[in-house]
Amino acid sequence: MKATRTIKNAATYTGLILLAVFLMAPFVWMLFVSLHESKSPIPSMNVWTQRGTFGFLGREYAWVLPEVVPNVWHWDNYRFVLFMPDIPVFRFFLNSVFVTLVVVTGQLLVSSLAAYAFARLEFKGRDPIFVLFLLSMMFAGPVTQIPVYLIVRSFGWLNTYAALIVPGLSSAFNVFLFRQFFASIPKELEEAARIDGAGDLRIYWRVMLPLSKAALATAGAFSFFAVWTDFFWPLLATNSMEMRTLEVGLSVFRNSYGATNWPLQMTAAVIVMAPLLIAFLFTQRYFTRGVMIGSIK
Amino acid sequence: MRRRHGVGYWFIAPATLHLVLFALVPIVYALYLSLFKWDILKDDKPFVAFANYLTTFQDKFFWNAMWNSTRYTLVSVPVGMAVALLVALLVHQKIRGVTLFRTLYYIPAISSGVAVAMLWTYVYLPEQGLINATLKLFGHPGDLNFLNESAWAMWALVFMSVWTGLGPRMVLFLAGLVAIPNSLYEAADLDGSTRWRTFWKITLPMLVPTTFFVLVTSTISAFQIFTPVYMMTKGEPDRTTDVVGYHIYSEAWEKFHVGLASAKSFVLLVAILGVAYFQYRAMRDQLREYDAS
Amino acid sequence: MRTLVRLVILSTLIGLCGCAEIVGDGRTVLRIASWGGAGADDEFAKIEREILDEFERQNPDIDLRMEYIPGSQEYVRKMLLNTIAKAEPDLCLLDASSAAVFIENDVLMDLAPLIAKDPEFRLDDYWPNVVDIARRGEKLYAIPKDFTPMVMYFNKRLFDEKSVPYPKEGWTFEEFLTTARRLTDPAKGQYGFKFANWMPGWIMWFWNNGGDVLSPDGARATGTLDRAENAETLAFLKRMIKEEKVAPDLSQTASMGVDLFTNGQAAMEINGHWAMVGYRSAPKDAQGRPKLAMEDVGVVSLPTNVGKSVTVMYEAGWAIGRHCRHPEAAWRFVKYMTGPTVQERYARSGLAISARKDVANELAKDSREATFVAIVPSARPPWGAKVGAYNPVEAIGQNMMNSVLTGSKTIDQALKDAASEIDEEFGKQ
């Protein structure tokens, strides 16, 4: 019995590790290439170069590494990209942080409020309105960009934070997600609160939301990454350098360096991704544990 | 269960106001545009009634794009979901270090669009690319030009979507798995049910709402896939990756025929609606069963 | 929940700091759209910054707000959208390749009245065929800043190593191919030629074989694109890459990830004057010597089968938006940017040839620059300067080239399909 469990665990871990290697390999490569000398060719993975020798049992051995591991680590690539004379990368970063935090918070509140009503309250037109939310998700983006742009313009919001924030404050996807989640919460829990005289707002805030940490974390993470990496809307809605977000600001790199400077391209890519990664690593505990807390026994 | 009417309206007011302003009005406006020969800057924007729709139906490149989106969706969604469910089951086990793996598996999904495009352009490079270099280790010549050959390009995009889509889908399935009451499993254990049987009789049925959610949203976003195509293939080679989202984009923004692009968006909308309805019909019974339980 | 509340407060604080910086200070604000903003060479970006600062020093009443838009596709799209919303910048850089879209759609202000009123400004100072790109009858929509013909660059060191004579004006396609063949050395990973697979970089091959993409009036492609001359051109290019292998094919180019010419791995390439900026910062070899030395860079006109070599002229000029609120201030900026002082600084940076005859001729004392200046009269404007609907043509043309090079279509089929697609596209206008 114990032996089979050990074998099974070993198999599970092997699977988990292989999958992790498969998923992580491109990132590791990206990091390595970003540290190669600017303008150097794409380093090969199959060419092994000698990096030095070591003595072992009285004999000299050479040790080799694939060419992809840089010989000299060019951290100056990062300095070069971060402090380009006419790209205020740090400003881009602050813009991205501010916009993303406000949009995510707004989206979670607005969407979950509506979702609560769709899941639990009864009112005339509830289902048709919900269907409207669903339908809006199915409409292809490129065309509504023009009307949305004109609407934002008519409010005089172009090139302001309002233009970057307000159109993202609610998301039909999240309304859908929260509704599905709220629907799976047993009604007994809120019935108890209702008997204690709690109103809907109180039930929403004190019962539903605390029970929905998993959904909040999930939806929050989804929106965080969606907003952080949005490219077209910030490009359209802002004009000046000071209002650009990181994704738009650094996309310049793809255009300037094309396919001929992989090291700097990858440096830029790492710079855009690093904050995402850090934000994720800080929230992931809440995120993965949140799933657990959300379980209703 | 009776509730006071009216409260609900207050709850949905902010979201609905937002929906009206940033989704419904633009859609209605787009519908209006679709009836005009509306080129971005031309002062003359004549009313053409349904001519744009007629053009759409006769446009062989539009149908080519619809077909591309269909085959992209038909492969990427089931494969992506199956892989995600499998991984979710794997990391749902109570074993040491499992949260570390959950974290790692999510990382591909948090990469920015520009960075991912740069990265995967490399992964698919002939000779030096990650895949070809790996193939070379096994004696393959490693000369597959994934993004430039008609036979490969679409599947390269599908493969990439499975990679980037794994995290979110896994988390959704995981949330679904966690929500299944332990008592059900305990009861099954008492009945002496095999793991396989438990999976089919308890896990899957309890995952129906999650599966439905993942299926519908994945299908919709698969049908609208745009960024990877825009960044990596531009619909090439030979229009084999010219998916409908990109096709509509280029109609509006490269050729500036906004009226025609709007008409195409509505045809796409009807198609997506049809598919979503079909999915709903197919899963309706299971969803009902779940609601009843 | 508390975390959420804290985040909101934090965000609002950051937001307040951000907003405070955007308030103006009473000076006339000129919004200026330009592409780039992150040149491959930070030396060049520095010069540009200095030039703009100098303008603000000389004109204390004006506040310049640069709006850099990444990517040429995004530039056109964003500018058009700005225009329908009447939110376009006061000034913009006009690219010859997309000039027609802007001019035909009335985005720009006619500069002729401003020129007439200004005794200091003399249009004769500029190359006439460059000025004409943005001219429509009496109206003029941009003052040229700089321009470049596309030329053939060659690496003299690689020619000397193989004892191949330098190419001469008036060489034919076959002479070019023979030269490239002798310079190709698979053992060293060296190619005779680097083929730039983008339409603005290869359309001249068509012209130099007596063909073209559109009919002379720019109205249709059928009857022009599908002619035998063009089939010959495509067959030649395909043979060069696929059979003779004197130029790397698409996947080989991609898999190297470096610029072959600046890396000393290709002996020739077709490019504009801007390429010199990159040549100056060519990567270095193990001994610290540049892989492409500036003194080794030679320039010659493109090979031709029709006697007289033709090339394309890419140009950028300063234009004022039609709804500009401060035309006088904007005009001061245009004059400054296209005037002799600024032009000389730009020209010395090597990005392009000054559109001013005085500055260009001064620099042409250098023999390489002289070759460029000699090529100018044979350069014609790109189709995008004349045809407003040219944008989709480039996408269709590129599709055509790719399907020929990958062999997924026969040459005749590819030409015929592309021609009918372009006409269908024009028909929708």
Interchain CB distance below 8 Å, C105 and B42 = yes
C-alpha distance from B42 to closest chain C C-alpha (Å): 6
Interchain CB distance below 8 Å, B8 and A126 = yes
* A209 at interface of C, judged by CB pairs closer than 8 A: yes
User: Per the structure, how many domains does chain C have?
Assistant: 2
Q: Does the residue B34 lie in any domain? A: no
CA distance C200 to C220: 19
Closest residue on chain A to B121 (Cα): A259
Tell me which residue in A41, A86, A150 faces C38 most closely, judged by beta carbons.
A86
CA distance C364 to C373: 7
Pick the last residue of a domain from C383, C404, C419. Answer: C383
Give pLDDT, residue C390: 87
Q: Which residues, 6+ apart, have CB-to-CB distance to C1 below 8 Å?
A: A205, A209, A210
Tell me which residue in B39, B128, B149 faces C255 most closely, judged by beta carbons.
B128
Query: Residue A1: is it exposed, middle or buried by C-beta count within 10 angstroms (0-12/13-18/19+)?
Result: exposed
The DSSP line for A266-278 is: HHHHHHHHHHHHH
For residue A251, the SS3 value is helix
Q: Does the residue C16 lie in any domain? A: no
Closest residue on chain A to C254 (Cα): A259
Fold of the CATH domain A77-293: MetI-like fold (1.10.3720)
Give pLDDT, residue A163: 92
Q: Return the CATH number at C320.
A: 3.40.190.10
Helix A262-293 / helix B113-123 crossing angle, nearest 10 deg: 120
Q: Does the residue B191 lie in any domain? A: yes
* B117 at interface of A, judged by CB pairs closer than 8 A: yes
Tens digits of residue pLDDT in A62-115: 777 777 788 788 888 888 877 766 667 778 888 988 999 999 999 999 999 999
Task: Provide the domain limits for residue B119.
Answer: 61-292
Most A CBs within 10 A among C23, C258, C260, C285, hence the mutation to make, goes to C258
- C182 and C286 in a common domain: yes
- C281 and C415 in a common domain: yes
CA atoms within 13 A on the CB side of A111: 28
A–B CB contacts, 8 A cutoff, strictly below:
272
Q: Taking the mean position of all CA atoms in its chain, how far away is CA C259?
A: 17
Q: Which residues, 6+ apart, have CB-to-CB distance to C261 below 8 Å?
A: C153, C155, C194, C268, C269, C271, C275, C292
Q: Does the residue C1 lie in any domain? A: no
For chain C, percent of residues with pLDDT exceeding 70? 89
Token digits for C399?
């599709």
- C410 and C319 in a common domain: no
Q: B237 preceded by cis ω (within 30°)?
A: yes
- C421 and C378 in a common domain: no
Q: Report whether B66 contacts B244 (CB < 8 A).
A: yes
- C333 and C286 in a common domain: no
H/E element, A183: helix A172-183
Q: Report whether C385 contacts C133 (CB < 8 A).
A: yes
Q: Does the residue C234 lie in any domain? A: yes
Cα dihedral across residues A81, A85, A90, A95: positive or negative: negative
Most C CBs within 10 A among A38, A98, A265, hence the mutation to make, goes to A98
Outline where DSSP puts E strands in C70-186.
Answer: 91-95, 135-136, 139-140, 143-149, 151-155
Interchain CB distance below 8 Å, A247 and B217 = no
- C155 and C78 in a common domain: no
Q: How many residues does chain C have?
A: 429
Most A CBs within 10 A among B45, B119, B134, hence the mutation to make, goes to B119
Interchain CB distance below 8 Å, B114 and A12 = no
Interchain CB distance below 8 Å, B239 and C402 = no
Give pLDDT, residue B70: 92
| Residue A152 per-residue DSSP state | H
Going by their DSSP bridges, the two strands C379-380 and C311-320 should be labelled as: parallel
Q: Return the CATH number at B249.
A: 1.10.3720.10
- C344 and C391 in a common domain: no
- C341 and C222 in a common domain: no
ipTM: 0.77
B–C CB contacts, 8 A cutoff, strictly below:
74
Q: Which residues, 6+ apart, have CB-to-CB distance to A39 below 8 Å?
A: A260, A261, A263, A264, C258, C259, C262, C263, C281, C283
Residues 130-169 of A with CB under 8 A from C: 146, 149-150, 153, 158, 160-161
Neighbours of chain C (3+ CB pairs under 8 A): A, B
Tens digits of residue pLDDT in B235-275: 877 788 889 888 988 888 777 788 888 899 888 888 888 88
CA distance C264 to A11: 51
Tens digits of residue pLDDT in B38-97: 776 666 777 878 888 988 888 888 999 999 999 999 999 999 999 999 998 888 887 888
Q: Does the residue C21 lie in any domain? A: no
- For residue B238, the chain C residues in CB contact (below 8 A) are 399, 402-403, 406, 408-409
Q: Report whether C239 contacts C173 (CB < 8 A).
A: no
CA distance A45 to A37: 16
C-alpha distance from C238 to closest chain A C-alpha (Å): 22
Determine phi and psi for A130, rounding to 5 degrees: -60, -40
Q: What is the pLDDT along chain A (297 residues), one digit of tens a residue?
A: 567 778 888 888 888 898 888 888 888 888 888 888 877 777 777 777 777 777 777 788 777 777 778 878 888 888 887 776 666 777 888 898 899 999 999 999 999 999 999 988 888 888 899 988 888 877 756 667 778 887 888 888 888 899 999 998 988 888 988 888 888 788 888 888 888 888 888 888 888 888 887 778 778 877 887 888 888 788 888 877 778 888 887 666 666 555 567 788 888 888 888 877 877 777 676 656 544 433 332
Number of neighbours of residue C327 by Cβ within 10 angstroms: 17
Interchain CB distance below 8 Å, C81 and B55 = no
C-alpha distance from A142 to closest chain B C-alpha (Å): 5
The residue ranking higher by pLDDT, C44 or C22, is: C44
User: Per the structure, how many domains does chain B have?
Assistant: 1
- C288 and C240 in a common domain: yes
Task: Provide the domain limits for residue C113.
Answer: 27-149+313-383
